[in-house]
């Protein structure tokens, strides 16, 4: 398929002002009547109208009520003889489509006896012929007709104008959305659903109806979603002055969905995973996920819908900004500084695990990509998570108030428009004319144009005679595909200096006369810069990149272990305390991987002492302790290496886990006893932290039991698994049995399945647990293959595929990368099988091989062979073709 380039952007030759759609919904043959008014764009030379369409049967085209000549060229409907001049043109197109055969889940499809849509990025063209691009914005009126008994609920965007019965048991509803929107925000639902409802009055005195639609049996799992929606509405008004602009705000859950959720105007459609929760079926992580995704989609109403993207290269304009907003929302809800830090650490771990890895592989691309073959492949961690880090850097540079001013100006200038990342950057700079951002805006904007993760090299030197400390910051950035050389980035470095007694030293830059601060943000906008601090009485330990103030790799030159231990013990920045522990452990894990002989112990005594001190520190929260004691995993270790031997990494990772289990045995015991009973389940950070720490302790106790042959702890874990009053504890105990290789693990898995066989989201957990379990016996692949045949496994359901196949290939490297290449054969088979069903899901799975060129032999050759086998399929989707051809380049 052709490559699309950002620089080729051209405004559309026509605008579409109004769209009047009528649907006669039928699973096998849905009729769609599309009546539009268009006008020529006077700024563009006259040319034929080219409408996008895919998998449509065209029955009729009328122009101003008359038949007309037209051509079908590839996927486009071309009209060459439209009237000249500026008058509006009435275009009427009648098509049919087959929703029940739509396994791609793009456009209009059926799921569990209902109709749903997904139009971002290019699904609307699978519903009707259209200018399916985000800069064409129209108002929509939608009439839905369907059998009443089968589809009692008929929904579309905006406000309900009218509804009623038709003959033959059918009924209808008419919806009107007063806001102009691009086609990717269109949605309809026709299904047997029920709603949890809530009426609210916003600050301005307007009444709104909030609805969460689910299948009838799921109503008892909607309370948390509604709560999250109410919190989102209140937060956006309070923090950004942005109010709900619709009479009605609807959320609909479906179990067949390619992504997490979709922000269709007034009618958000969600994966059930991000709506449904009750204590017996959802974990603390699930509850958090729901809060952030409900927030995310709601916040899109302003950042995405009211102001949208001019073209898909600008995707991060809405996604990076909206991820940043949902992260801030979750932090504000978490409340205490420590709970905020826990949120931040979680986000940074995700960023580094997925985005940094993406940035160092064949799919590396800038936050604002320059080219794509299939836009669906660019809903990536770079566009989303790195994009959010870029937005966070604006806030770090101009402060919270300055950021708010920038947002206000952005809305004042662009409300109702389709704009670019440059427009956002300009609003931020113009609202903060005296900032480092405004002074270096062009340098800052390189974050949008350059791919790759910069490396920040820091070195410090202390001058005892002058009582000064000089910090030198230097940056570099590795080459990425198509970008061999990089220009310097603007890197905000939030930092402090820690004295020998653990206290923060006042920071006075030489020549600066202001009041000394305990923390500052240094700005590096060149390849190298030095900063000298005056009146420093002793050699300090620097604490750099606090709160992870920029998405870079930090290298602290010449820093010894003592400095890391000092930060772990004393840093006032919780993020950097956690980071110090990670660095200590990672450095030793990497040495163990690289050593010619596997060392008896991975961690040294001083590191273990420091970890123990964290666990015993009464001033630290359980959630924070759990994060510090979460060891670097196999994927994180691999990311540090140029040549990756997955089995060697697995051995080291396993040795690391066993060592920490045994060395801290006493602490695991006392922590478990102190935290095992968390009381009645409430999804909030303090008790969630206690549950997480208890589960980690139990896992370690079962690991110890594995070596000693003890049966008491596995027995206790099984009991806890059986009696658990909430899913977090139940999953924790089950995982402990699996990690402990207990004979009770299998009966527990069977019991779990029997208990939850009617709960799809819990079954997903059951599949995932087995796909990602520790492969000490080498049997995981065989079991995953067997599970493909399980009656509850369906290749057409994305959640199920992700739980079993994608989880195995992406998240269980020790089981996937086998010396006999069987993992790669499995991967290729599954990519090819999925490609004919759902290309987006297939392409995501295909990316499990992103880093094959860094694998050691024999893995590398075998992986290459598997990728070439996939690439050889002649009718491969554009999605998978782009991924595998980039991997092979």
Residue 261, interface with ligand DPP (CB under 6 A)?
yes
What does the block give as tokens for 665? Answer: 């045995």
What x-and-dash track marks residues 358-387 binding ligand DPP by CB under 6 A?
A: ---------------------x--------
What x-and-dash track marks residues 310-349 binding ligand DPP by CB under 6 A?
A: ---------x------------------------------
Using alpha carbons, list the distances in angstroms from residue 793 to 105, 109, 692, 797, 800: 18, 20, 29, 8, 7
What does the block give as tokens for 209? Answer: 């109806």
Q: 351 vs 490, which CB is nearer to Zn ion?
A: 351
- At residue 49, what are phi and psi to the nearest 5 degrees? -85, 125
Residues of the shown chain interacting with Zn ion in the complex, contacts defined by CB under 5 A = 319, 322
How would you class 67 by CB atoms within 10 Å of its CB: exposed for 0-12, middle for 13-18, buried for 19 or more? exposed
Alpha carbon distance 813, 820 (integer Å)? 14
The catalytic residue positions are 297
Q: 261 vs 795, which CB is nearer to ligand DPP?
A: 261
Q: How far is the CB of 375 from ligand DPP (least distance, A)?
A: 11
Give the Cβ contact number of residue 646 at 10 Å: 22
What does the block give as tokens for 676? Answer: 């095992």
Number of residues that bind ligand DPP (CB under 6 A): 9
Q: 256 vs 319, which CB is nearer to Zn ion?
A: 319
Alpha carbon distance 235, 331 (integer Å)? 11
For residue 460, what are the β-bridge partners?
A: 471
404 close to 431: Cβ distance less than 8 angstroms? no
Write out the H or E segment, with its range, that includes residue 561. helix 561-570
Q: How far is the CB of 260 from Zn ion (least distance, A)?
A: 8
Nearest to 183 by CA among 119, 117, 109: 119
Q: 261 vs 649, which CB is nearer to ligand DPP?
A: 261
Q: 296 vs 340, which CB is nearer to ligand DPP?
A: 296
Q: How far is the CB of 318 from ligand DPP (least distance, A)?
A: 7
Looking at the chain, the number of H-run helices and the number of E-run strands are: 31, 31
Q: Could you tell me the sign of the dihedral formed by the alpha carbons of 601, 602, 607, 611, in that order?
A: negative
Alpha carbon distance 510, 505 (integer Å)? 15
Q: How far is the CB of 652 from Zn ion (least distance, A)?
A: 37
Q: How far is the CB of 745 from ligand DPP (least distance, A)?
A: 36
Q: How far is the CB of 542 from ligand DPP (least distance, A)?
A: 37
Q: According to CB under 6 A, which one of 20, 52, 135, 297 is a site residue for ligand DPP?
A: 297
Taking only Cα atoms into account, the Rg of the chain, rounded to an integer number of angstroms, comes to 28
191 close to 116: Cβ distance less than 8 angstroms? yes
Residue 262 touches which of Zn ion, ligand DPP, none (CB < 5 to 8 A by kind)?
A: ligand DPP
Residue 120 touches which of ligand DPP, Zn ion, none (CB < 5 to 8 A by kind)?
A: ligand DPP
Alpha carbon distance 624, 576 (integer Å)? 12
Contact stretch for ligand DPP (CB under 6 A) within 132-140, 258-266, 390-398, 759-767: 258-266
Q: 379 vs 444, which CB is nearer to ligand DPP?
A: 379
Contact stretch for ligand DPP (CB under 6 A) within 254-262, 612-620, 743-751, 784-792: 254-262
Residue 373 touches which of Zn ion, ligand DPP, none (CB < 5 to 8 A by kind)?
A: none
Q: 418 vs 749, which CB is nearer to Zn ion?
A: 418
Residue 259, interface with ligand DPP (CB under 6 A)?
yes
For residue 39, what are the β-bridge partners?
A: 15
Q: According to CB under 6 A, which one of 256, 263, 423, 759 is a site residue for ligand DPP?
A: 263
Contact stretch for ligand DPP (CB under 6 A) within 23-31, 53-61, 256-264, 470-478: 256-264
The residue with its CB nearest to ligand DPP is 259
Q: 184 vs 826, which CB is nearer to ligand DPP?
A: 184
Nearest to 462 by CA among 525, 365, 536: 536
787 close to 793: Cβ distance less than 8 angstroms? yes
Residue 586 touches which of Zn ion, ligand DPP, none (CB < 5 to 8 A by kind)?
A: none
Q: How far is the CB of 716 from ligand DPP (least distance, A)?
A: 42
Nearest to 639 by CA among 653, 628, 655, 657: 653
Q: Cis bond leading into 858, ω under 30°? A: yes
Q: How far is the CB of 302 from Zn ion (least distance, A)?
A: 12
620 close to 687: Cβ distance less than 8 angstroms? no
Residue 296, interface with ligand DPP (CB under 6 A)?
yes
Could you list the residues that contact ligand DPP (CB under 6 A)?
Answer: 120, 259, 261-263, 296-297, 319, 379
């Amino acid at each position: 398929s052709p490559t699309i380039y950002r620089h080729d952007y051209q405004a559309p030759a026509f605008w579409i002002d109004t769209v009047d759609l009528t649907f006669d919904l039928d699973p096998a043959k849905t009729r769609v009547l599309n009546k539009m008014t268009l006008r020529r764009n006077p700024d563009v030379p006259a040319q034929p109208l080219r409408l996008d369409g895919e998998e449509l049967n065209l029955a009729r085209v009328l122009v101003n009520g008359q038949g007309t000549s037209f051509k079908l060229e590839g996927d486009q409907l071309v009209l060459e003889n439209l009237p000249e001049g500026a008058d509006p043109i009435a275009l009427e197109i009648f098509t049919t489509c087959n929703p029940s055969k739509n396994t791609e889940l793009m456009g209009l499809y059926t799921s569990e006896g209902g109709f749903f849509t997904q139009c971002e990025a290019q699904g609307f063209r699978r519903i009707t012929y259209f200018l399916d691009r985000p800069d064409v914005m129209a108002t929509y009126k939608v009439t839905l007709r369907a059998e009443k008994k089968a589809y009692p609920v008929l929904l579309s965007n905006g406000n309900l104008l009218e509804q009623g019965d038709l003959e033959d048991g059918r009924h209808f509803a008419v919806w009107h959305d007063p806001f102009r929107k691009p086609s990717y925000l269109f949605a309809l639902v026709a299904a047997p659903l029920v709603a949890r409802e809530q009426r609210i009055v916003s600050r301005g005195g307007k009444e709104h109806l909030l609805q969460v639609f689910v299948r009838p049996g799921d109503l008892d799992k909607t309370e948390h979603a509604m709560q999250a929606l109410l919190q989102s509405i209140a937060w956006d008004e309070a923090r950004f002055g942005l109010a709900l602009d619709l009479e009605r705000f609807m959320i609909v859950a479906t179990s067949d969905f390619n992504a997490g959720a979709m922000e269709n105007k007034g009618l958000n459609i969600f994966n059930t995973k991000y709506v449904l929760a009750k204590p017996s079926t959802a974990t603390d992580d699930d509850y958090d996920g729901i809060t952030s995704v409900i927030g995310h989609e709601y916040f899109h109403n302003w950042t995405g819908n009211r102001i949208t993207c001019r073209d898909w290269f600008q995707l991060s304009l809405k996604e990076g900004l909206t991820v940043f907003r949902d992260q801030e929302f979750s932090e504000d809800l978490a409340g205490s500084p420590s709970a905020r830090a826990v949120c931040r650490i979680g986000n940074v771990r995700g960023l580094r695990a997925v985005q940094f890895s993406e940035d160092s592989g064949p799919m590396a691309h800038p936050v604002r990509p320059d080219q794509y073959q299939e836009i669906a492949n660019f809903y990536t961690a770079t566009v989303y998570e790195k994009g959010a880090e870029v937005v966070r850097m604006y806030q770090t540079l101009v402060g919270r108030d300055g950021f708010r001013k920038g947002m206000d100006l952005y809305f004042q200038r662009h409300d109702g428009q389709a704009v670019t990342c440059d427009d956002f950057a300009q609003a931020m700079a113009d609202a903060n004319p005296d900032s480092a951002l405004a002074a270096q805006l062009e340098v800052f904007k390189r974050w949008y144009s350059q791919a790759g993760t910069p490396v920040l090299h820091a070195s410090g030197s202390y001058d005892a005679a002058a009582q000064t400390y000089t910090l030198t910051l230097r940056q570099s950035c590795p080459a990425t595909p198509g970008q061999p050389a990089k220009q310097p980035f603007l890197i905000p470095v939030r930092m402090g200096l820690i004295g020998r007694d653990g206290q923060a030293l006042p920071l006075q830059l030489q020549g600066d006369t202001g009041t000394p601060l305990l923390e500052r943000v240094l700005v590096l906008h060149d390849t190298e810069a030095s900063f000298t601090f005056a009146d420093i009485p002793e050699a300090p330990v620097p604490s750099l990149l606090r709160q992870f103030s920029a998405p870079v790799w930090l290298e602290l030159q010449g820093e010894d272990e003592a400095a890391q231990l000092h930060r772990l013990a004393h840093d006032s920045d919780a993020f950097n305390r956690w980071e110090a522990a990670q660095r200590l452990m990672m450095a030793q894990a990497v040495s163990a991987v690289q050593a010619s002989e596997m060392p008896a112990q991975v961690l040294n005594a001083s590191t273990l002492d420091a970890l123990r001190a964290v666990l015993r520190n009464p001033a630290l929260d359980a959630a924070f302790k759990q994060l510090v004691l979460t060891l670097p995993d196999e994927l994180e270790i691999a990311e540090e290496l140029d040549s990756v031997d997955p089995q060697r990494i697995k051995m080291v990772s396993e040795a690391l886990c066993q060592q920490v289990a045994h060395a801290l045995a006493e602490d695991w015991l006392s922590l478990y006893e102190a935290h095992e009973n968390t009381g009645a389940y409430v999804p909030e950070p303090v008790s969630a932290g206690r549950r997480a720490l208890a589960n980690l302790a139990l896992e370690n106790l079962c690991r110890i039991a594995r070596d000693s042959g003890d049966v008491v702890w596995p027995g206790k874990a099984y009991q806890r698994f059986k009696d658990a009053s909430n899913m977090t504890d139940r999953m924790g105990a089950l995982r402990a049995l699996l990690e402990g290789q207990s004979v009770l693990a299998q009966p527990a898995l069977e019991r779990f399945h029997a208990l939850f066989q009617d709960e799809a989201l819990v079954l997903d957990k059951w599949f995932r647990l087995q796909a990602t379990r520790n492969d000490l016996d080498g049997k995981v692949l065989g079991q995953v293959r067997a599970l493909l045949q399980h009656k509850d496994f369906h290749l057409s359901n994305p959640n199920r595929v992700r739980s079993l196949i994608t989880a195995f290939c992406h998240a269980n490297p020790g089981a996937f990368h086998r010396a006999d290449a069987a993992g790669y054969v499995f991967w290729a088979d599954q990519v090819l099988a999925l490609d004919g069903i759902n290309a987006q899901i297939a392409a995501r799975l295909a990316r499990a091989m992103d880093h094959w060129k860094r694998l050691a032999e024999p893995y590398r050759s075998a992986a290459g062979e598997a990728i070439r086998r996939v690439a050889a399929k002649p009718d491969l989707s554009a999605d998978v073709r782009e991924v595998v051809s980039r991997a092979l380049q």
